[in-house]
Each structure stands twice: as C-alpha cells, then as structure tokens.
Structure 1
Amino acid sequence: MTAAPLVTAEERALVEKAMRDAVERLDPWTRRIAAYHLGWADAEGASVTGGGGKALRPALALLSARAAGAPPEAALPGAVAVELVHAFSLLHDDIMDGDRTRRHRPAAWTVFGSPAAILGGDALMTIALEVLLDAGTPAAHRAAHDLVEATRRLIAGQARDMEFESRDDVSLDECLAMAADKTGALLACSCAIGATLAGAPPALVDVLAVFGAELGVAFQLVDDLLGIWGSPETTGKPVLSDLRARKKSLPVVAALAAGTAESRRLAELYARPAPRPEDELRETARLIEAAGGRSWAETEAARRLERAEAELARGRMDDGVRAELRDIARFVTARDH
C-alpha cells in the first residue's frame, strides 16, 4: 500500500528535535542506548539516518490538536511523550519476547545487554513525563495523568500477554481485553493528548480517545496477523516469529476456541515445549488458518476500524482533519504497508 507519510517532513523534524532535546537530559551511557534504539545512532554512537519508525503516535497527537482548532505545535510535548513511552515499551518487549531484531537491525538488548536496555527503557519513560510536566499548566498535568494511566494499562496488557503463554484456557474475550490495554490504551492517549493540551472540550477529547482505542485493537489484530503470516521485509522479524515464541495472539486464540479438529491439533502443538522445528511451525500456521483464526482476525480488524471511523464521525472537528485521521487509521491497519 502506498500512502502519504504520517507526518510532514517539517512536523517530523519538529518532533525529532524535541525528542533529541529530551533524550539529551540522560546520562551519556543511557543516552547512547536510547539513540541506538530510536534509530539515530549505530552501536558505536555514530549518527545514522533513516532508522526511525513510522511516527504513528506523534502524528496522531499533532492531529488531535488540529482537531481542537489549535496549531500542531500545541501538541508537541504530548507527541514527544507518547513516542518516548512507545519506545520504552518496545525496548522492554524485545527483552521479554527474546526478539533479536528491531527495524531490520539487532535489538538494543543484544547490543548493550539486557540490564542496560532495561535501564534505557526506564529512562525513556521518565523523561516522557518530564516533558509533559515541564509546561506546568493544568492541561499538561491532565495530559500527564492520562499518559500515566495509559502506561499502567499498557504494562497490565503486557503482563497478561506473558501470562497467557503459560495457560491453555485463554478466552477470546480475555485476549481482546489484553489487546485493548497493551496497544489500545497508548493509541487512545495519543489520539487525545493533543486536544487535551489544547484545552479542547471533554466531548471532543472523549471522541478522539474512543477512536484511538478502537484503532488500537484493529492495529493489534493486524500486527498479530503479520506475526504469523507477515514477511520479514514488512515486520523486520523472522517469519512465523509469534509462533516460534508460542504467543497466544488473537488469531491463535480464535482458532483454539473454534472447537474443530484443527483446533484440537493446534492445542497439541502449542503444548509442546520450544524450540520447535520449522515444519511444525508451518503446520501450526496452516491449522490456525484452517480453524478460522486468520479469517476471524481479518474480519474483526475491519469491524474495529469501522467502529473507529464511526466514532470519528461524531466529533465536531474540521473535515480535513477528520479525513487525515481516517486515512492514517486505514494506512496503519493495512497489511501491505
């Protein structure tokens, strides 16, 4: 899928400068880990270009300020804060999941060691709050509160995701609730934080937050599909990576709950200890699809996106901003971007 960048070159430069200024507050060693993880530097600390992510959360934060009739600059502290929290979560996720690559190069923990990477993530979370609280306004304090709540939910979702790996009775409702916390909470915060900082009416903030929450679940469903059937060129991770880690992702849980012969065979394979041979991983992917897990996840992702767009239609905002938010949602939930 081709689409315009999520943020303009000027907005990306604005956010990156503010993020670099924030990261500059860290001690030299932790700053080096953060710069590597954020794609600004190589393992030796030398500057590199083109290594960052899509800047989804900053783009949503800037647009939410525009939805409130404010300039995007009003959302800048929020855009920086949500991206730093996202970076913190990825640093820790890679360690917990044992993922050795991130954005097509070695994950930070494989370069600097797990203890250093954990500290790097902690540091990013801390300065995210500093950036918001530095403004010292009531709106900034509300935004900081919302970010802390979203981070608490993100952590709870990640904890449940890890818990599911050792359980064989995970329900689909539990898995959807986990996705709403792990992914939806921070996206909801990202979609509302700019409007909060701009002093928008609570009704608009709520609309933007619900839009982001539904988008977050759709995004997680698509990510789960890519974790099984995505190409390494798209995901930056080895093929079948989620199955190798025996993750109870949404397509897997939907397939296990289908009550078919394929479901029962899938449960047998998931009960086997890792590591598992490649032919068994391929059979696992085939069983998930045969039991309906893939089609359910695709249908549910489309349904969540539809609900997100319906919520967006309720909000009182400029039609152009509404269209940009809708286009971003469609772009990031497509499986060929």
Structure 2
Amino acid sequence: MTALPSAVQAPPSAPELLDRCRVLVRPALTEAVGRLHPWVAEMAGYSFGWCEVGGAPAGASGGKGVRQALAVLGARAAGADGRAGVPAAVAVELVHAFSLLHDDIMDGDATRRRRPAVWKAYGTGPAVLAGDALFALAVETLAAAPGGARSLRLLSAALSDLVRGQADDLLFAARPFTGPERVTPVEYRVMAEHKTGALLGCAAALGASLGGAPGPAVAALDRAGRHLGVAFQLVDDVLGIWGDPAVTGKPAGGDLRERKKTFPVLAALDSPAAARRLPALLDSPGREAEAADLIEAAGGRAAALAEARRLTAEARTLLTRPPLAEDAVGGILRLVDHLAGREL
C-alpha cells in the first residue's frame, strides 16, 4: 500500500495527490464491493470502470477521486494518519456511485464516462438495484469503522441534501426560462450545494470526524467542501457550453442542446435583451453557437466564473480558521487550484 508523503518530503502535485489517495483507498473499496451479490458487484465494478459487461477487466477511468482525496486529507487535517479516513472515503465513493446510477436513469443519460450508463448496459431495474446496494454498503462500511457510528449523522445529512438537490434539479426542468416562475441563479446555487456540494463537504468532514477532529474543525471542513462543490459545478457549467470536446469528452454546446438550466444560462437571462432572444435560440436545434455567444455577451460566463472564484476564496478562508494540520490543508488547496484551474 502506498503511503501518503510525510511532512519532510516535497509536497505532491494535485494529480499526484489524487493518484496516491486512490491507491490508498482502492483495496478497501474493492473489498467492500466484493461483499455484494456477484451480479450486483459486477454492475458496481462496471460503474467504477473496473470491468466490462460480463466481468472482463477494463481500464476505463473511474473518475478523478476528489471525494476520496478529501476524506483522506480530512483525517490528516485532524492530525491522524490518512488511513483513518479510508472508511469515510469508501463510504462517500459508494454514495457518489449510487447517486450517479440513479441520476442517469432519472435524467435519461445514456452514457457515463464515454461508456453506456449502467442502466443502458444492464437494464433499468438492475441499475436501480445496484444503486440501492451501493447505498446500503456505504452505510454498513461507515458504521463498522472505529467511531463511524457517530459519523453516520454527517452522512445522513448529506444524503438528505443530495435528495433535496436532485428533486429541485428535476423540477427545474419543467419550469420556464423566463417569467415569474423561472429558475433564478440563487435557486440554482442552492440546488448545486445540495446536489454536488453536500457530498464533497461530507467527504472532508467524515475523514476529519474519523480522525478525531473537534466539532468546529469538522464543521469548517464540511462548509469548505460545500463551497468547493458549488464552485466546481459552476466551472463544469462553463465547460459544458464552451469547453473543448477533446478535453471534456463531451460535444461542444451539449448543455445548450439539451436545454439545461445551468448557471451561465440563468445569469444571462437576467439581461432583458438575452431574455427576449435566448429561449428561442435554445428551442432551435443547430443554433447552439449563437446561444453561447449571446450568453457570453449577456455576462453569463463571467457571472459563473466570478461566483466560482468567490466560493473558492470563502473555502480558503474557512480552511485557515480551525486548528488543522498545515500539510493537509495545503493538499486540499492544491486540489482546489488544480480543479478550479480548469477554467478559472
């Protein structure tokens, strides 16, 4: 097992830190998934990119591992060995996978990380079952960890927020782009904190809790993680409209083609001129480039990036307040710079 670097070593870069945390967590995550029913375990392995349909080994990416890294660094921020945060990392990674399986079904998304989504590969019913199994396994994993029982409240609160955020996201799709019933940027930000930020905050807070951190430090890490989650979502929104497909793996203007109510779109609609023209462009296939230009001219891109910068700055401030281990905080900040730097 690869250990995290000690304080006397040169600090690792963010990609190195993500890699080392994934290596640290992977054996425990693999062991946990192996406790599932073999068919369900295969679906879980497929969702993580470990195997193909039928169980043949695969080399697909299982994601960046940001939540895993935050859990490990949360434990280190509390002054504990990073291994103390591994059960938290496993639990949060399982919850994240569960949420993706169900989200893809609810949103009708046929692909995930350049492969067929689990529900397309195995069927809707099996994918729901696999998601339920991952959720149950996350609770079991955390409850079995030393001090995990008292940390279940943190996970429960994050799950409640995640469900609330997903409910709002689904309801947003049926609301108009303009008029008194339209979705506002403020509402979107609250939804993003619940759907995306809550689990990132929970990851860092759970790691700190298992590492023995006092309540104020756990709360500060939770809040900082929530801010970072929203900031990352806003950056993703920008990339979903203007990102390079060779980098993002998604078609240019894909979010506009799907008429998604992302932050840049909602912020642009605050402009009367954009509010008059943009809905018609979004309803016209093939005019995504025009819509993107209008959103940028109306300030939607700038507003999203400014809000992301503000939230990132608030997260940095939160991380300097409680008595946290400097090397772990430095690692978290390097992750912030690396991920936010995709567009900021």
Distance in 1 of aligned mates of 2:17 and 2:27: 14
1:24 and 2:31 equivalent?
Answer: no
**SS of corresponding position for 1:329:** helix
Report whether the alignment pairs 1:300 with 2:307. yes
Task: Specify the code of the residue in structure 1 equivalent to 2:114.
Answer: H
- State how far apart, in whole Å, the 2-side matches of 1:255 and 1:23 are: 44
The residue type equivalent to 1:85 in the other structure is V
1:283 aligns to 2:296 (yes or no): no
Residue matched to 1:131: 141
How much does 1:142 deviate?
Answer: 2.4
Q: Describe the shift of the 1:235–1:90 C-alpha distance in structure 2 as closer, same or farther (beyond 3 A).
A: farther
CA contact (8 A) 2:165 2:195 kept: yes
What's the secondary structure of 1:7's corresponding residue?
helix
Find out whether 1:316 has 2:323 as its counterpart: yes
1:258 partner letter: S
Report what 1:242 is aligned to.
Answer: 255
Map of 1:264 onto structure 2: 276
- Structure 1 stretch displaced more, 241-250 or 324-333: 241-250
1:173 aligned partner: 186
Percent identity, please.
48
Alignment partner, residue 154 of structure 2: 146
CA-CA distance at 1:102 after TM superposition:
1.7
Work out the CA distance in 1 between the residues paired with 2:198 and 2:18: 25
For residues 13 and 288 of structure 2, the distance between their equivalents in structure 1, rounded to whole angstroms, comes to 33
Shift of 1:9: 4.9
Tell me, in whole angstroms, the C-alpha distance in 2 between the residues paired with 1:211 and 1:75.
17
Residue 200 of structure 2 is aligned to residue 187 of structure 1: yes
TM-score of the superposed pair, with normalisation by structure 2: 0.90
2-structure distance, mates of 1:235, 1:87: 20
Name the CA distance, whole Å, in 1 between partners of 2:341 and 2:163: 26
1:1-337 pair list within 5 angstroms: 3-5=13-15, 7=17, 9=19, 11-135=21-145, 137=146, 139-168=147-176, 169-259=182-272, 261-270=273-282, 272=283, 276-277=284-285, 279-335=286-342
1:11 to 1:220, Cα distance in 2 relative to 1, 3 A: closer
SS of 2:28's partner is helix
**Compared with structure 1, are the counterparts of its residues 233 and 100 closer, same or farther at alpha carbon in structure 2 (3 Å cutoff)?**
farther
Q: Which runs of 5+ in 1 are unaligned?
A: none
Q: Are the structure 2 counterparts of residues 6 and 61 from structure 1 closer, same or farther at C-alpha, using a change threshold of 3 Å?
A: farther
Give me the whole-angstrom Cα distance separating, in 2, the residues matched to 1:303 and 1:11: 27
> In 1, Cα distance between the equivalents of 2:60 and 2:238?
26
Distance 2:187 2:226 in 1: 16
SS of the equivalent of 1:167 reads: coil
Q: Could you tell me how far 1:3 is from its partner in structure 2?
A: 4.6
2:14–2:338 contact (8 Å) kept in structure 1: no
Q: Residues 235 and 340 of structure 2 are in contact (CA less than 8 Å); yes or no, is this contact kept in structure 1?
A: yes
Amino acid at match of 1:263: A
The Cα shift of 1:10 comes to: 5.0
Q: What count of residue pairs does the alignment treat as equivalent?
A: 328
Cα distance in 2 for partners of 1:110, 1:101 equals 8
Q: Distance in 2 between matches of 1:108 and 1:242?
A: 21
For 1:244 and 1:76, locate their aligned partners in 2 and report how far apart those are by CA, in whole Å.
40
Flag structure 2 segments of 5+ consecutive residues without an equivalent: 1-11, 177-181
Q: Is the 8 A contact 1:218 1:333 kept in 2?
A: yes
Q: CA 1:152–1:8 in 2, change beyond 3 Å: closer, same or farther?
A: closer
Q: Deviations over 1:117-157 (max 9, x none)?
A: 1221111111011101123x5x3122222112101111211
Deviation at 1:49, TM superposition (A): 2.8
Structure-1 separation of matches of 2:128 and 2:61: 21
CA distance in structure 2 between the partners assigned to 1:164 and 1:228 by the alignment = 19
- The structural deviation recorded for 1:334 is 2.1
TM-score scaled by length of structure 1: 0.92
Q: One-letter code of the match for 2:304?
A: A
In the alignment, what sits opposite 2:8? none
* Contact 1:102/1:236, CA 8 A, preserved across alignment: no
The 1:102/1:217 distance shift into structure 2, 3 A limit, reads same
Deviation (angstroms), 1:336: 5.8
**What secondary structure, in the 3-state scheme, does the structure 1 residue paired with 2:174 have?**
coil
